[in-house]
Amino acid sequence: MASPKVTVIGLGYLGATHAAAMAELGFEVLGLDVVPEKIEQLRQGLPPMYEPGLGDLLRAHVAGVEGASGRLRFTDSWEELADFGDVHFLCVNTPQKHGEYACDMSYVDAALDSLAPHLDRPALVVGKSTVPVGSAERLAERLAELAPARREVELAWNPEFLREGFAVHDTLHPDRLVAGVRSEWAEELLREVYARPIAEGSPFVVTDYPTAELVKTSANSFLATKISFINAMAEVCETAGGDVVKLAEAIGHDERIGRKFLRAGIGFGGGCLPKDIRAFMARAGELGASEALTFLREVDSINMRRRGQMVELTRQAVGGTLLGKRIGVLGATFKPDSDDVRDSPALNVAGQLQLQGAQVTVYDPKGMENARALFPTLGYAPTAVDAARGADVLLHLTEWRDFKELDPAELGEVVSVRSLLDGRNTLDHELWRKAGWTFRALGRPTL
């Protein structure tokens, strides 16, 4: 039998990577997005965002790019998409609703409503977006109502766990695949699509719809809880005079706890963890199970408090008032190896400092354009050294490798005061001290 043809709907962080990865796995792929500029960019083999390795993958497969396999094409026509595909991946975003905790399903609903009326032959629609539990059931009903092929069209739920910065690797070599399905046909089709990762050893877990939806939200809740746990320990260390970095190292040697995701600092941000735990709480409330997730409210507030604590530490470092003080900020993105500034703790801290009267200058290796669009009133500098120039204090807020490699002596020449605050606990304090800097970090009062 011929290989199934794959379509990808929504070409953002998730969809663009998924489309390129499917082409890399050998499938003919057609991608659709409702933003015409995104399609134009992708047609030239250019990624819509910074993601290591994605540009190479697009150039290797986008039709029309010299030397490419030609397996990856893009369209804005739903009709063409439905005609082409056997498996349709829904990869649109599900942001937090304005002014509410709940998740905004309007993009998912609109995508399904646009696709379904064109489905007049057997097809599998596969949801990858992060959605409130119960959505797949509702969408399956809608699909059955709208698709001319009726029972020959089915829905599956296949959540995505990729991390920004490692998206290509995580998509090609997933640590697990989860398939919420209602028939053997759907399961077999997904096994065929993922045959290569499965052959490489990725576990393939088959579930019902609600479990598949919950795997995603509970995994993100666990990760958020782990980070807030260590940040709560940082708060205690700050009052008790302990060192949270040593503490994390020591408890991490216990295999049951593990060392990963125990890095204390200004906390988690990005397009996933914060909105996913909030949407999960909102959904649990609707289902009458809010008590089960009240701890997530605490996870969220511990996380948000760390941003405030960073502002306080900065205020102390500049002598009690931020008014008129010059502050250099290293980092704007929510994590390194990404240009994503959505709910970025770094930008949030920079913004708070400026609102309290400081003059803030930010530098980030890849996030400048997005940061400027979101916070146009902050100062921006073309290099780390320029951001540090004249600063009364320098803040390290995103743990880019570039910042680890900075020369404290060189930066010491341009700042007004050699004072560094590490909000990510990844810089080598001894190196900075040797170059004459005062070095302070969250959760490490003994430094």
Single residue of 138, 169, 191, 263 touching ligand UDX by CB under 6 A: 263
Minimum separation from the CB atom of position 167 to ligand UDX (A) = 8
Do the beta carbons of residue 298 and residue 278 sit within 8 Å? no
Is the CB of 101 or the CB of 161 nearer to ligand UDX? 161
Place of tokens 């941003």: 307
Contacts of 269 (CB under 8 A, 6+ apart): 334, 335, 342, 343, 344, 345, 346, 348
How many CB atoms are closer than 10 A to CB 301?
Answer: 10
Cβ burial of 151 (10 Å; 0-12, 13-18, 19+) is exposed
Stretch that binds ligand UDX, among 149-157, 159-167, 249-257, 405-413 (CB under 6 A): 159-167
Is the CB of 178 or the CB of 353 nearer to ligand UDX? 178
Minimum separation from the CB atom of position 108 to ligand UDX (A) = 16
Q: Is 169 in the site for ligand UDX (CB under 6 A)?
A: no
Can you read off the two tokens belonging to residue 417?
């005061």
Minimum separation from the CB atom of position 299 to ligand UDX (A) = 12
The whole-angstrom separation of Cα 276 and Cα 131 is: 9
Annotated catalytic residue 103: no
Q: Which of residues 215-254 bind ligand UDX (CB under 6 A)?
A: 220, 223, 227
Q: Is 268 in the site for ligand UDX (CB under 6 A)?
A: yes
Of 333, 213, 232, the residue nearest 283 (C-alpha): 213
Q: Which of residues 322-341 bind ligand UDX (CB under 6 A)?
A: 334-335
Q: Residue 2: what residue type?
A: A
Single residue of 163, 372, 389, 429 touching ligand UDX by CB under 6 A: 163
Minimum separation from the CB atom of position 160 to ligand UDX (A) = 6
Q: Is 329 helix (H, G, I), strand (E, B) or coil?
A: strand
- What is residue 292's DSSP assignment? G
**Rg of the chain over all Cα atoms, to the nearest angstrom:** 24
Count of residues in contact with ligand UDX, rule CB under 6 A = 20
| Residues paired with 361 in a beta bridge | 328, 379
Single residue of 54, 244, 272, 442 touching ligand UDX by CB under 6 A: 272
Stretch that binds ligand UDX, among 56-64, 270-278, 285-293, 403-411 (CB under 6 A): 270-278
Q: Is 162 in the site for ligand UDX (CB under 6 A)?
A: yes
Stretch that binds ligand UDX, among 81-89, 133-141, 160-168, 237-245 (CB under 6 A): 160-168
The whole-angstrom separation of Cα 403 and Cα 398 is: 9
The whole-angstrom separation of Cα 230 and Cα 299 is: 11
Residues near ligand UDX (CB under 6 A): 160-164, 220, 223, 227, 261-263, 265, 267-270, 272-273, 334-335
Residues with catalytic annotation? 272
